[in-house]
Structure 1
Amino acid sequence: MKQTNFLTEGAVLLALYAVLLFLVIYIPVIGVVLMFGLALPFIIIAYRYSIKQSLLVYFASLLLSMLIANVSGIGTTLIFATAGILMGHYYKKNQTMSAIIAGSLSYFVTTAILYSAVIAFLQIDIPGLIEESFQQSISLFQSMGQDIGDEQLKLLKEQLQTAEYMFPSVFVITGVILSFITHLICSLMLRRLKVQIQPLPPFREWSLPKNLIWYYLIATILMLFNLEKGSYWYIAALNVYYVLNFAMTVQGLSFVYFYSHHKKVSKALPILVTVFSIILPFLQQIVRILGIIDLGFNLRTRIKQVGK
């Protein structure tokens, strides 16, 4: 009976995935939104059935993807199906935060592997394409009579080169964001399907591991040294620094939500701070500093003690 249920539900979920994948790849206008639902069928399978059964559906979906969209279909399935199965596995264990961490790592690893595969096997030089696009943009500005000075051009080239070195940190941060969006969208759908998952603690209670402050300090000190651009230590320090910058910003926003709740301030305030910290770099710096102080000096604990 269980085997029959698995075969029936597996077939239905594969059909659902096939429809979603088709819409995502061939109708980009709605595909941008539907993309985050691609992991849902795999989350359901992993939640309700064993790892072996989940992997069976996983490999079947890869074959199906090849029929629907060839290489792009397989790549998309590798990214979202892998994350979905890992997240569903941890949801079943009532470990929601572990599910999000596993999803983040999965998105990061699969995206990095596919990026490397594109460069290695398809001989597509992505940094070269970015450089070529940059040169075309400069030529376009010059043809329109916009004069770009040598110093400004040199600065733009340096910024472009730095952006290329930051690909690993972009993959990491993108993985984290994708995992959270997947969780938010799929958890709403799962509740409608009466699949119970443990909710995350309120954002105001989130806090990073305290030892991250030391890694952040080391990365910051390394960035102060005149490391050779393009060297291993330069790229490593740059990426760790920017990933932890992102993490400290999240810590700072969490503190803003905590403090607003502690002082019984309107919920609109922390939301506005979040929005404007994305738009305004100087406000983001302030939020990040708050995060560093909160993590390094147990600021929340001290505020709670003062309130007693």
Structure 2
Amino acid sequence: MKTGGKSILWSVAALLLLLSIGVPLLNVLTVTLLMVPYVVLYTTLPKGMFFAHLIPVWIIAFFMVGPAPLIVGLFFLVPAIVMGHYYRTDKPVRSRMTAVLVSIVAIVLLELLVFDAVLDLSVIGALQDQIRSVANTVASEPAVSSLWTPEMIDQLVESTVQVIPQALLLSAFMLTAVAQYISRRALSSYGINVKGLPPAHEWRVPRLLVTYYLIALLLQLIVPAGDDSFMTTALVNLVPLLRFVFTVQAIGFFFFLAHEKRWPKGVPIFIGFLLLLFPPLSLIGVLDAAFPIRKSFQKP
């Protein structure tokens, strides 16, 4: 398999993405796409050639922009290698995405630990200070000074910090899904067929998640809302995440109906958009996971 010219182009793409790290707004797109060149290069090249392509990219980016691109580039190296390794070994898509998601979360946690232990810098503490500073600035305005109390500011800071794990997991999932989607299509140009996600009408979650969800909802009713314990933090993150999972299940259910009833393709997409806008509709996904509803719609 000849990959020389394409590999150089992917290396150039990685360099351009790293150079755009410092560009406001564009850097959001950069972070979302940065794993893709890494994954393609690691999957199509021997390991030695993979690093031979990337090291010059990192050096050029370092001298042109500074250390920031290098830090970001190294951050995405491990999850990209994990995804590329799973591509090479033809692992199931669920195992692949789980491994990449876990690697992203693990690297973030490791970086937070290093910042705290080595640099004596608490990222969470800095975030709390920043939120508190902004809230105090808003509270000092005459129009809202009577509405904002110190207790409300403390509650805002605490609530924001509590949802950090949820935001981290959702961000890791988004990065994994984008890299999976684009890199699969890029690798097809090399003649490499990589297993993708099953069609939307086949999406199903384990029924056991329904039990977990009901337990979490019950605990949420029992545990005091103002409590700052680990249990409260866990529930604040777990319940919305499970609700999102069942929203995806509900989307899969309507794609299933569209598949069985031969609906126009735009119908389940529109319904899926509505499901994302109205989280309570995730109950449809709960019912679909708990009961064999789909059997009643299947053609004999």
Which structure 2 residues correspond to residues 41-52 of structure 1 after superposition, within 5 A? 41-49=37-45
Among 202, 214, 223, the residue aligned to 1:226:
223
Is contact 1:219-1:240 (8 Å) kept?
A: yes
Deviations 1:185-206, CA, capped at 9 Å, x for gaps: 2223223344322232211211
Unaligned runs of 5+ in 1: none
User: Any idea what SS the aligned residue of 2:76 has?
Assistant: helix
Paired residue for 1:258? 256
Among 251, 268, 293, the residue aligned to 1:299:
293
1:248, distance to aligned residue in structure 2 (A) = 1.5
Paired residue for 1:81? 77
User: Any idea what SS the aligned residue of 2:290 has?
Assistant: helix
Paired residue for 1:121? 118
Unaligned runs of 5+ in 2: none
Among 195, 199, 224, the residue aligned to 1:198:
195
Deviations 1:267-291, CA, capped at 9 Å, x for gaps: 222222333344x3xx2211x1011
1:214, distance to aligned residue in structure 2 (A) = 1.9
Paired residue for 2:246? 248
Paired residue for 2:279? 284
Among 1, 20, 23, the residue aligned to 2:19:
23
Is contact 1:260-1:266 (8 Å) kept?
A: yes
Deviations 1:61-104, CA, capped at 9 Å, x for gaps: 89748945665334323432212111112222333333222222
Q: Residue 32 of structure 1 aligns to which amino acid in structure 2?
A: V
Among 260, 263, 269, the residue aligned to 2:267:
269
2: CA distance, partners of 1:27 / 1:193: 32
Is contact 2:248-2:285 (8 Å) kept?
A: yes
Deviations 1:115-168, CA, capped at 9 Å, x for gaps: 333344333444444444444444444454322545876456424312212222
Deviations 1:44-64, CA, capped at 9 Å, x for gaps: 3432356x6488569958974
1:181, distance to aligned residue in structure 2 (A) = 1.1
Task: Give aligned pairs, total.
Answer: 297
Identity among equivalent positions (%) equals 22
Inter-CA distance 120–299: structure 2 relative to 1 (3 Å threshold): farther
Paired residue for 1:38? 34
2: CA distance, partners of 1:187 / 1:238: 34
CA RMSD of aligned residues (A): 3.4
TM-score by length of 2: 0.81
1:180, distance to aligned residue in structure 2 (A) = 0.5
Paired residue for 2:235? 237
Q: Which has the higher helix share?
A: 1
User: Any idea what SS the aligned residue of 2:173 has?
Assistant: helix
Inter-CA distance 191–35: structure 2 relative to 1 (3 Å threshold): farther
